[in-house]
Amino acid sequence: MLSYVFLSWVRAMLQMKWLSGVLLLLLLTPAQALEKPDFHLKDRGSVKRQADAVLALMSYSVILDLASSNLTIQNSNSDEKNLVMSQLGGGDVISETTPLYLEGAIAYSRFDPTFVATNGTETRDIPLKWTTITGTGGIGWDFPLSENWVVRPIFDFSLGKVVSDLRAANWWVNQKAQTDFDFFKNGSMNAYGLGGALMFDYELVKPEYEVDVELRFSAMHLETFKSSDIVSGSADSQTANIWTRYRAPTGMTLLQRPVRYVLEASHSHYFGDQAGVLGFDYLSTVGVGLELDSSAYSVIVTRTRLVGRYMFGPGVSGFGVGLAVSF
């Protein structure tokens, strides 16, 4: 009898131990699942470096420059475009009696960086789209040096905004993310710029031909404000540029005015944070095109130019077509 009671007690203890083990396993399994490490950036400093690069790239948009006004950079291993920049701008003097010079530009760019996230055991690529919109305005005054030469100091100011778009990697939105990804999901970077330029402008107008030459040195300081801490920063960029245009009649007449052929050339050298951010520190262009004169009619546009340009620099070359109007 005593043996039976002892065996029953042992059997009960073993059953309780087994149930306790199962209960403990059930309790620990969710806890262990919750303890799975979150994904974080493999190199957190890469966000700051890419943001600084975007700020330097913004210099190409806020400094008026023919060579870099429209650029598209694509991956050499694919047709994917990693960088697109486009600028619409111009400037002119109000009148000969009031030599007030005004210039302005609006620009759009898209930069597609890719970051790497890890949780210690696996890694994932995070493809992004950073879109930048900038606006620049400038005011200057012409001081005559001779009959054909003027010197033109210019004060420039600009505003820009970079918006991060995570839709290309929307699978990440549903993940438990750390603060590393706050800027990726709904962040923005705001920047303002203050700077100026000094321009020497030469104009020679004759019935047989017209010659324009501009030598310009531009500088711009860009600073972030009201931006995510991880992407705050500044950039200082300078551009030295020489540009020349030659226009002469083709012998044809259209719109009651001679049709002119146009020859252009320019060279831009980049300094400061802007230099080398795209792999080159200078760009040159040569162009040829046609110009229509509509000044015989009561329209706001007096001249329209269509110019094809070839651009080249260290490790880069391309072709584009530009449309310009004069008022």
Burial 198-230 (b: 16+ CB within 10 A, else e): ebebeeeeeeeebeebbebebbbbbbbeebbeb
- Reduce the DSSP state of residue 45 to 3 states and report it: helix
The CA angle 225-228-234, to the nearest 5 degrees, is: 45
The confidence score (pLDDT) of residue 64 equals 86
- pLDDT, averaged across the chain: 78
pLDDT of 210 over the 80 cut: yes
Q: pLDDT tens, 241-270?
A: 999 999 999 999 998 899 999 999 999 999
The confidence score (pLDDT) of residue 113 equals 61
Query: Is the model more confident about 156 or about 60?
Result: 156
Query: Is the model more confident about 116 or about 62?
Result: 62
Q: pLDDT tens, 7-51?
A: 454 455 445 555 555 445 555 555 444 455 555 555 455 556 666
Query: Alpha-carbon distance 283 to 73, whole Å?
Result: 14
Q: Quick check: 180 and 44 in contact, CB under 8 A?
A: yes
Query: Is the model more confident about 97 or about 217?
Result: 217
pLDDT of 284 over the 80 cut: yes
User: Tokens 């042992």 appear where?
Assistant: 10
CA atoms within 13 A on the CB side of 126: 28
Residue 26: in which H helix or E strand, if any? helix 2-34
Provide DSSP, 199-264.
EEEEEEE-SS-EEEEEEEEEEEEEEEES--GGG--EEEEEEEEEEEEEEEEEEEEETTEEEEEEEE
Q: How confident is the model at residue 218 (pLDDT cuts 50, 70, 90)?
A: very high
The confidence score (pLDDT) of residue 5 equals 46
pLDDT of 176 over the 90 cut: no
Q: pLDDT tens, 312-327?
A: 988 888 888 888 888 7
Give the number of other CB atoms < 10 A from CB of residue 180. Answer: 16
pTM of the full structure? 0.74
pLDDT of 235 over the 50 cut: yes
Query: Alpha-carbon distance 232 to 185, whole Å?
Result: 17
Alpha helices by DSSP H, 105-235: 182-186
**Cα 94 to chain center, whole Å?**
31
The confidence score (pLDDT) of residue 14 equals 45
The confidence score (pLDDT) of residue 189 equals 81
Q: pLDDT tens, 192-201?
A: 999 999 999 9
- How much of the chain, in percent, has pLDDT values that exceed 90? 36
